[in-house]
Amino acid sequence: MRALILAPVLLALVACSTPITAKNVGADRVFERVNVNALRDRKPSLTTQTVLHRASLAELFDDSPHEALAALHRAALEIDGRDRLIALSELCYLTARRERDKSLYLASTVYAYLFLVGDDPQPRPHVMDRRVRLACELYNRSLTEAFREDGGELFVPDMGVIKLPVGSIRIESADQVMKLGQQLFTEFRPAADWSVKGMSSRIVTSGIGVALIAGRTEDTASVSGDMDANGRIAGSAFLDIIGELPDAETGELRARLSLHATLDEPTIQVRGRTVPLESDLTVPIAYSLRESKLWDFELGSFLSPDKAAFDNGISLAGPYQPGKIPVVFVHGTASSPARWAEMLNELRADSLLQERYQYWFFIYSTSQPILISANSLRESLKEKIAELDPAGTDAALRKMVVIGHSQGGLLTRLMATESGDRFWENVSDAPFEDLDLTPEESAKLRQAVFFEPAPFVDTVIFVATPHQGSFLSEGFLRTIANALISLPKKSIQFSQDIILRNPLLVKRDPLKGQPTAVDNMAPGNPFLLALADSPMPDRIHKHSIIAVEGDGPLDDEDDGVVAYKSAHLEGVDSELVVHSFHSCQDKAPAIAEVRRILREALQEK
C-alpha cells in the first residue's frame, strides 16, 4: 500500500529531473575549469580528458598509466595523431612527476615537439589554439626535468638512448658549452627555478626551450670580463627531434640538444620556421648580484680606496660582441655598477637596442679627485679598445655612448671636454714645462690635468649631475666626509713628491692635503669653475636627465643632493626632468629617456 502511494511521487520527481543540464556558476569558475592542466593543477586538461574518453583509456590510465600511454601512442599512429600527441605529452608529464622518471619527462618533450611541428597528417594547430601554449610549456618544463642534475639544481646536457612508452629515442649530440663572443659558458641552471627580488620587471621572452642562467666554471671565468667574476648571461637549451612518431618503434627517432646565448641568438630555425627561444633576461642579472662584492665596494672604496675589492677599470655585462656599440655606465659617489642593473634589464628587453648595443661599466673609487678618476676612465676605455680590437677594425667601438650619474656625470663630461690650460692654472701659475718632473711623472700629471674630447665618444648623457656642485658637499657634511675618507697612498705620495720638489711653482700647500671628490663637488670649487669654462665640441651629442623632488618652479627645486640649477646645462640636445630623489637611474621615466636617446642615436650612426 505504501509503495503504491510513493510511486506517483517518485515518478513526478524523476519526471522533473533532466540527465543533461546547464547551470550558471559565473565566468570565473568556468574559466578555471576549462583551463585546468597538468602544469598548474596536476590534472589533465579538458582536451586530454576528451582524448582519453574517446580512446576508452580513462580508467586504464588511472589503474595502469604505462599501459595506457603505450596504447595511446599506438592509437596516435592511426587517426587524430596530433590531438593524441598533446594528450600523450601531458599524461607523460603527470606520470613522470608522480614517479620522478626522467625518461617520461623526455617523452613528454618529444610528444609536445611533434604536436607543434611534426608532420602528422592532421593539420598543425592554429596559433590561437590554447593547446599551443600548453605544448610549449610542457616541452620547456619536461625538457628541464629530463636533464636536471640528480639531486641538484644544474641543467646537465647528456647523450644516449632513452626509452619512450613505445620504442626509444637516441640523443646523438648534446652541446656541453655555450658560446657568446669569445667567452665559453659551461654551467647552466634553469631560470624558472629562481625568484627575483629588488627588480621592478622580470623580462621573460616566451618561446620554446629551457630558459637558462649560463655561467662560467672557475677555469673559464674572467674577472675583467664582467660586472663580477660570477657574472651570468641568459641562455636557452633546445632539443630538436629528427624523425616522426613511427620512427620511435623502429629505433630511428633521433634528437640533438643545442645551447644558445639568447642575447645574441633570440630565435632558432625549427623545420623551416623561425621560432623564439624561451629566455629570462632578468634572473641572470639578479643571480650575478645576489652575493656580489660590488655592494661592499660602494661605501668601502669611498672611505678606503686602498682596500677596495676592485681596481679602477672597465667591465662588461657579458662578453665583447664585435659590431655592437658600447654603452658605458659610470656610477656616482659611494656607488657601483650594480646600481645600473634596473636600466640594464630594461634596455636589454628592447630587441633593437640589444641587436646594436653592448653594455659596459666603469668602476672606480669615488673619493679620489675627479680629474684622477676621469683620467682613469679615459685610459681604461683606451686600454679596453686596444685589448678587444688591436687591429682597429671594429668601427662600433669608436661610437661610444657614455652615461654618468651624479659624480659619474662629471667624469662623463670630461670625456667630451676640451680643457686647455684651465685645470693646470688651478695648480700653478707657471708653465707646465717648468716643473721639475721625471718623464714618467710628467706624462702622468699631464694626463690628469689636460683633457681633450675622447675621439671614440659620440654621445654623452648626464643623469642628476652636479655641474655647479652639490649643496651636500658644503660645510659640516664636507668636513665629516673628508675626516672619514682616506685617499690612496700612491696618489698622495705622488702629489706630495711633486709639491716638495716644486714649492714655488705649485699653488697648493702640501700640509693641506690632496682634495677629495667631495671637495671638488663643493659649489664654487675651482675645479667646477674651470670645467664650466671648458667647451664641448658640437660633434658630440649631449643630453641631460635631471631629478627634482618637488612640483614648484624648477629653479627652486632639487633632488635632495643636487639643485636643478646645478644639474641644468645650456646647449644640450635634450633635457628631461623626472620627479625623483637623486638616485633616479632606476626610475621608469629616466630609463625610457635613455632608451629614446639610444634609439635616436642609431638613426644618425
pLDDT at 517: 84
The CA-atom distances, in angstroms, between 333 and each of 297, 516, 539 are 11, 11, 29
**Per residue in 545-556, pLDDT tens?**
999 999 999 999
pLDDT at 414: 97
pLDDT at 429: 78
pLDDT at 599: 97
Give the architecture (CATH level 2) of 293-435+452-485+518-604. Answer: 3-Layer(aba) Sandwich (3.40)
520: cell is 671638488
365: cell is 673609487
Domain ranges of the chain: 34-146, 149-281, 293-435+452-485+518-604
| Bridge partners for 461 per DSSP | 403, 543
**What is the Cα–Cα distance from 399 to 602, expressed in whole angstroms?**
10
Residue with cell 655606465: 329
pLDDT at 445: 78
Which stretches of the chain drop beneath a pLDDT of 50?
Answer: 219-229, 476-478, 480-487, 510-511
**Per residue in 402-414, pLDDT tens?**
999 999 999 999 9
DSSP structure string for 499-544: HHH-TTT--S-GGG----HHHHTSTT-HHHHHHHHS---TTSEEEE
| Bridge partners for 178 per DSSP | 185
